[in-house]
Copies of this chain bind each other. A is one copy, B any other.
Amino acid sequence: MATQERAIRTRNALIKAAAELLDQEGPAPVSLATISAKAGVSNGALHFHFPNKAALLDAVVVEAEARLRQITRPRDLHTVQALIDATHDLVRALGRNVVLRVGFRLSGRGERSEAAPDLWGDWQQWVEATLARADGEGALVSDPSPEELAAVVVAVGAGLQARAESDARWLERGVLTQFWALLLPRIVGSAARHDFSPAGFAPASGEDQGP
């Protein structure tokens, strides 16, 4: 094998090995000592509340779940509009609420323990159930099933969150509003679309305002 060819193979082997190792890599470890210092409490206090790091990470996800339940609360709105508003609330809260954001991230990369909730799974189930309810109310035109529609809605939310990791503007209202503006006539029929606001309604309270 010629020297140059060997060099190219070596180079390619290194690039592939790096990619494979990075593909499996987890997040950098954050020590319990760093966490207790940041919270301004002793290590003893930390261990009083959480026997180990897994318990603390689970608590982040459980806190995030409580916030998600707030987002998916019953609303005094048409079922389809309630879904639209919840997607806007979720996307906004992913930008502003660090516990929710990290809870989804932990839950999304399969690091949570068996005990911790699966937030993306919860969200998907809620979207599916809400679309099924809208369908039961006769609000949906028939062609995509609630499950198929829900997967598309979940993918868009996850994509905005993922893109926002490098540019927070992806979580602003524009893209999601455009998505709903495109989708609505297809799911509720063009006659009904003017009943709905693709941008959602402004949140009534300041509760998802960040610090």
A binding-site residues for B, Cβ under 8 Å: 7, 10-11, 13-23, 25-30, 34-36, 38-41, 45-46, 48-50, 56-57, 59-60, 63, 98-99, 101-103, 105-106, 108-110, 120, 143-144, 148-149, 151-152, 154-163, 165-166, 170, 174-175, 178-179, 181-183, 185-187
How many Å from the CB of A210 to the closest CB on chain B? Answer: 12
The interface residues of chain A, by DSSP majority, are classed as helix
Given the complex of chains A and B, what is the CA–CA distance between A34 and B20 in angstroms? 11
User: B30 near A28 (CB under 8 angstroms)?
Assistant: no
User: A27 near B30 (CB under 8 angstroms)?
Assistant: no
Given the complex of chains A and B, what is the CA–CA distance between A89 and B26 in angstroms? 27
Chain B residues, CB < 8 A from A29: 28
- Give the nearest-CB partner of A165 in chain B: B109
Chain B residues, CB < 8 A from A60: 15, 18-19, 22
Given the complex of chains A and B, what is the CA–CA distance between A19 and B28 in angstroms? 14
Chain B residues, CB < 8 A from A163: 108, 120, 154-155, 158
Task: From B13, B38, B46, give the contact of A40 (CB < 8 A).
Answer: B13
A18, A21, A48, A166 — which one has the most chain B CB atoms within 10 A of its CB?
A18
Chain B residues, CB < 8 A from A13: 39-41
Task: From B28, B101, B156, B166, give the contact of A110 (CB < 8 A).
Answer: B166
User: A49 near B10 (CB under 8 angstroms)?
Assistant: yes
What are some 9 contacts across the A-B interface (CB < 8 A)?
A: A10-B39, A10-B45, A13-B41, A14-B56, A18-B60, A20-B98, A151-B175, A152-B175, A161-B162
Chain B residues, CB < 8 A from A63: 15
User: B14 near A35 (CB under 8 angstroms)?
Assistant: yes
- Give the nearest-CB partner of A176 in chain B: B155
Given the complex of chains A and B, what is the CA–CA distance between A121 and B17 in angstroms? 25
